[in-house]
Amino acid sequence: MKYLFTDFDSARIGKDKRAAVIEITGEKETETLRLSGGGKLIRIGIGKRDEMTRRKLLLLVRKITTLGKSAKAETLFLDCNDLSFSHLNIGDEELGSLVAQNMEMAVYEFTAYKHLPKEDRATLAAIAIKNASAAFKRGTAEGTTIGAAVNASRTLSNTPPSDMYPAAFAAAAVAAARRAGIRARVLGVPEMKKLKMGGVLAVGQGSARPPKFLVLEYFAGKKREQPIVLVGKGVTFDSGGIDLKPESGMNDMHMDMSGGAAVVQTLVAAARLKLKKNLVALVPMVENMPSGSSYRPHDVIRTMSGKTIEVLNTDAEGRVILADALTYAKRYQPRLVVDVATLTGAAMVALGLRASAVLSKDDIISRKFQDLGEKTGDHVWPLPLWEEYEEEIRGTVGDVANIAKTRYGGAITAAMFLYQFAKDYPWAHLDIAPRMTSVEGEYLAKGSAGAPVRLLVELCKTY
Ligand code: BES
Ligand code: ZN
Ligand code: ZN
């Protein structure tokens, strides 16, 4: 989307068929009017201005965009003052960034595999904004970059598994990273064998598509500064493996690499924003499939850490591949490791579809993530990680079992499993299964929601 900063006269614009003027009103109703000159007037009622909240503002920006899209406008005309709410204490630069992020997100559609009739094609290409300050303009540049990263992450996730298997995912990530000036490396099966990454190799062994391990390094910070390492689950399709999922459970499982897509695009955004930070992204990439060569229940896997995993359910595969990635992370002596994974249906049972779960041994870190969520719109909410849960995942034959003894608190026991491999550095786990796909009413295209790229970029900026 293009942002034009110009003054304009709403009356004159009404004569342009491709234009839509946005008017924010104090009413409750929203209406789109066709002006006599051919242009459109979109009147959006937001009720009392002093009842606006940060959450509602982000949705309002997306609503504006969505209505502009349905009006088939090419350019929207907007008054910056309409989006400024002094009681929200949002600075101009931040406002510009939030506006651009959410406009990019709302205008996005995944159309690569669809032949659209001409009348259904999106036309919206530009926003003309009046009364914008220099700071607001700077903000839109940042927001465009972040929004583009969110959308690129959604495209990686939305791409069907026939085209997004480990090697393809790795290639797409490497290409995106190198274009942004990030050092990128892909480990194949021989290298993983050398590193004794038994977890990634076991989960990947049932697929005709061999596993990969992606390493991105962006070192623009001080030489001595320890990096933040972002680890993303990269299961390009999760059939469940030998513990095959039922039909309904397999829905959307091509998006089980959403954590991986998010960390890749976070680094891309960080590089494009020229953040002076040291950042690493690690993504174990596998396809979890049933076959004669699959790993099976009661296999015992030796991981890179040396710890053994007793496999009790092949569908709890994310934690098995992440175990090796969390061990690999140690070599960077990180000041923080964050893993991001569509890890459990249980996180969705616990939180619904509005927030990802955050789990950490460090309450200050977990609190920090909640704040980042509120700030960016990528909401996260804490679940406990008490020692008592450790008992649940103790193995009988191996060191740790990959599922708990009861089905209760599945998001917690999954995190507790990961913690067994993350004890050597400050760590947080984000279970983004609840936010994998968009929900009705948030003005986002169906499919991947692009979480939590915005949160992670803000983390990299400010941590
Ligand atoms: N990828 C799934 C979790 C998931 C489910 C993500 C729905 C997004 C939407 C994960 O690998 C899985 O299958 N988890 C199991 C764990 C169980 C076997 C302990 C689950 O949640 O049922
Ligand atoms: Zn699974
Ligand atoms: Zn999975």
pLDDT of residue 383: 98
Torsion of CA 78, 81, 85, 90, to 10 degrees: 90
Q: What band does 142 get if pLDDT is binned at 50, 70 and 90?
A: very high
Q: What's the CA-to-centroid distance between 22 and ligand 3, angstroms?
A: 43
Tens of pLDDT, residue by residue over 26-54, are: 999 999 999 888 899 999 999 999 999 99
307 in Cβ contact with 186 (< 8 Å): no
pLDDT of residue 293: 98
Q: At what angle do helices 134-158 and 453-462 cross, to 10 degrees?
A: 130
- The tokens 């299964």 sit on which residue? 433
User: Is the pLDDT at 437 greater than 90, yes or no?
Assistant: yes
Tens of pLDDT, residue by residue over 185-235, are: 999 999 999 999 999 999 999 999 999 999 999 999 999 999 999 999 999
Ligand 1 and 249: CB distance under 6 A = no
Torsions phi, psi of 209, nearest 5? -100, 110
pLDDT of residue 265: 99
pLDDT of residue 11: 82
Helix (H, G, I), strand (E, B), or coil: what is residue 280? strand
Torsions phi, psi of 131, nearest 5? 65, 30
Tens of pLDDT, residue by residue over 56-110, are: 999 999 999 999 999 999 999 999 999 999 999 999 999 999 999 999 999 999 9
pLDDT of residue 14: 86
pLDDT of residue 210: 99
Q: What's the CA-to-centroid distance between 317 and ligand 3, angstroms?
A: 6
Angstrom distance (rounded) from CA 236 to CA 72: 35
Ligand 1 and 256: CB distance under 6 A = yes
- 0.85 cut: is pTM over it? yes
pLDDT of residue 12: 86
215 in Cβ contact with 178 (< 8 Å): no
- The tokens 């849960």 sit on which residue? 389
Ligand 1 and 410: CB distance under 6 A = yes
Spatial CB neighbours of 206, under 8 Å, sequence gap ≥ 6:
241, 242, 288, 289, 290, 291, 293, 294, 295
Angstrom distance (rounded) from CA 257 to CA 176: 16
What is the pLDDT of the chain when averaged over all its residues? 98
| 245 has catalytic annotation | yes
pLDDT of residue 122: 86
Spatial CB neighbours of 137, under 8 Å, sequence gap ≥ 6:
3, 5, 96
User: Is the pLDDT at 247 greater than 90, yes or no?
Assistant: yes
Q: Which atom of ligand 1 approaches the CA of 410 most closely?
A: 19
pLDDT of residue 433: 99
Which of 154, 319, 435, 454 does the annotation list as catalytic? 319
Ligand 1 and 317: CB distance under 6 A = yes
pLDDT of residue 36: 87
| 454 has catalytic annotation | no
Tens of pLDDT, residue by residue over 376-423, are: 999 999 999 999 999 999 999 999 999 999 999 999 999 999 999 999
Pick the ligand that lies closest to the CA of residue 157: 1
Torsions phi, psi of 16, nearest 5? -100, 115
Indicate which residue's Cα is closest to atom 13 of ligand 1.
315
pLDDT of residue 92: 98
pLDDT of residue 386: 98
Ligand 1 and 345: CB distance under 6 A = yes
150-165: average pLDDT: 99
157 in Cβ contact with 255 (< 8 Å): yes
